[in-house]
Amino acid sequence: MNILFATSEAVPFAKTGGLADVSSSLPRALSQLGHQPVVVMPAYKQALRSGQAIRPVGIDFSIPVWNKTVYGSLLESRLTDSDVPVYLILQDQYYDRDGLYNQNGTDYTDNCERFVFFSRAVLETIRLLSLEIDVLHTNDWQTGLIPAYLEAVYKESPRYKKITSVHTIHNLAYQGVFWHWDMCLTGLDWKYFTYDKMEFFGKLNLLKTGMMFADGLTTVSPRYAQEILSPEYSCGLEGVLRHRRKDLRGILNGVDTDHWNPAADPNLAAVYNTETVFENKPVCKQALQEEMQLPVNAETPLVGIVGRLAFQKGLDLVIDVIPRWVEEHNVQWVILGTGDPKLEQRIEELAASYPQNVAVKLSFSDAVAHRIEAGADMFLMPSRYEPCGLNQMYSLIYGTVPIVRETGGLVDTVVGLNTETFEKGTANGFSFKDADHSGLNWAIEQALICYRETPGIWKQLVKTGMSQDWSWKQSAARYLEFYEELRSR
């Protein structure tokens, strides 16, 4: 099957979040299963400076954007450790910028225009390169216009007639909403600016556009696919999702197990597998304590947190409860990430108040993230909502027991310890229901009791998580099943 994967970011070229990991890992997994994916993305400044081998294709093109013509050209590269082609859309006026979508926290005012151009350029790439495409897989609001252009502009052309479109919602909270006059930029007829197509409370909504025009929809976990049908999680799109319910699938993201593998991770002080985890993981814990300038003590419980410091992730709750666990239970905390300036300030204050127990790096480092996953005893993710989540899967692979709130992909991956799950041998972590201090404190307490008082059960949790398959192979197979289902209709 020939699959074009249209995305606004992909590792190692440009990244702001999990979309970039999926945009690299899924096409590679599809290729390993014998299919022919290609990736198309913008040629950002970040991509051109990524150190990857990128060459001009020698093809220029022009795109109509409202009342002007905008010119671009094609570049070509490959995904790391694969033969999967990556075509980058070069247009310096739009993409030669420091940020992908914003700068200093402020969105670019021409974001709609930038991704109007990109969306049309993706479809032109099919013609310019004479690609035979079976499935066109688009992602998030940045590519939401592509299914609309395919249906309204390109569908009658022979090369496009048999293309099936799939749109993936990675996070429903980010919708690409613009004022209604930006409809002019798209070049599409105003007849599409209706409640059942592109209009959203008087504005243009690009995520909704993709959801209404694509043949099929996916989200990044089965539980999230269920949650977004409810008003609490639908972000105003409950009606759209219920309308498309029969065409919606939740497919859990996978993990790049070449990159996340404790048995061969060059970032670690000691490598280990299920046979050597209890011998070598303590070496990683000691090294992490030393690196973060915390007292070295194998008996002190160490909790890791890596990710965006945001209300969505429940970091405000974590900040509120840390003093209790430091003062009363001598728990150590290592936090890596950036985000809300107010949360950053509060975390820095905690680190200053408890330098023997709280270590913080307000930045992002992939290598440090690996060392936290390997060196921590527990990994905390108390998210208010979490479409999929990857860090809980990294933790399971690295033998670090996750403590999570029961939402989205966290439910689909972490089985909380109780009598039933322990007897079945399915428990691999701890979970709680309510996104409040009481629920969070209860889960941390259960984890600490198990860690300190029942080491045999703790070791079973570690081994269960490490023995599970979190690779992309299974996820890619489910995408292929969905592609085939849609094509057969």
Contact between 180 and 203 under an 8 Å Cβ cutoff? The reply is yes
Nearest to 75 by CA among 98, 50, 105: 50
Q: Tell me whether strands 2-6 and 135-139 are parallel, antiparallel or unpaired.
A: parallel
Contact between 274 and 463 under an 8 Å Cβ cutoff? The reply is yes
Contact between 75 and 50 under an 8 Å Cβ cutoff? The reply is no
Q: What percent of the chain has pLDDT over 90?
A: 94
Residue 457 has pLDDT above 90, yes or no: yes
CATH fold of 277-470 reads Rossmann fold (3.40.50)
Ordered alpha helix ranges (H), 129-221: 145-149, 183-186, 206-213
Residue 17 has pLDDT above 90, yes or no: no
3-state secondary structure of 183: helix
Say how far apart CA 383 and CA 315 lie, in whole Å: 8
86 beta partners: 39, 77
The domain spans of the chain are 2-254+473-488, 277-470
pLDDT digits 0-9 by tens, 223-252: 999 999 999 999 999 999 999 999 999 999
Residue 104 has pLDDT above 90, yes or no: no
Cα torsion for 15, 308, 115, 200, to the nearest 10°? 160
Nearest to 164 by CA among 125, 196, 137: 137
Say how far apart CA 317 and CA 329 lie, in whole Å: 18
Q: What percent of the chain has pLDDT over 70?
A: 100
Q: How far is CA 251 from its chain centroid?
A: 13
pLDDT digits 0-9 by tens, 377-402: 999 999 999 999 999 999 999 999 99
Say how far apart CA 6 and CA 411 lie, in whole Å: 28
Q: How far is CA 30 from its chain centroid?
A: 18
Q: Please compute the mean of the pLDDT values over residues 280-295 and round it to a whole number.
A: 98
Q: Which residue has the higher pLDDT, 307 or 460?
A: 460
Residue 364 has pLDDT above 90, yes or no: no
What is the helix (H) or strand (E) element at residue 332, kind and residue range? strand 332-336
In this structure, the number of other CB atoms found within 10 A of the CB of residue 222 comes to: 18
Question: Predicted confidence band at 363 (pLDDT cuts at 50, 70, 90)?
Answer: confident
Q: Please compute the mean of the pLDDT values over residues 71-100 and round it to a whole number.
A: 96
The pLDDT of residue 332: 98
Say how far apart CA 395 and CA 379 lie, in whole Å: 7
Say how far apart CA 54 and CA 43 lie, in whole Å: 10
340: which 2 tokens? Answer: 């809300």
Q: Answer yes or no: CATH 3.40.50.2000 is held by domain 2-254+473-488.
A: yes
Sheet bearing 332-336, strands edge to edge: 358-361, 332-336, 302-306, 378-381, 401-405, 430-432
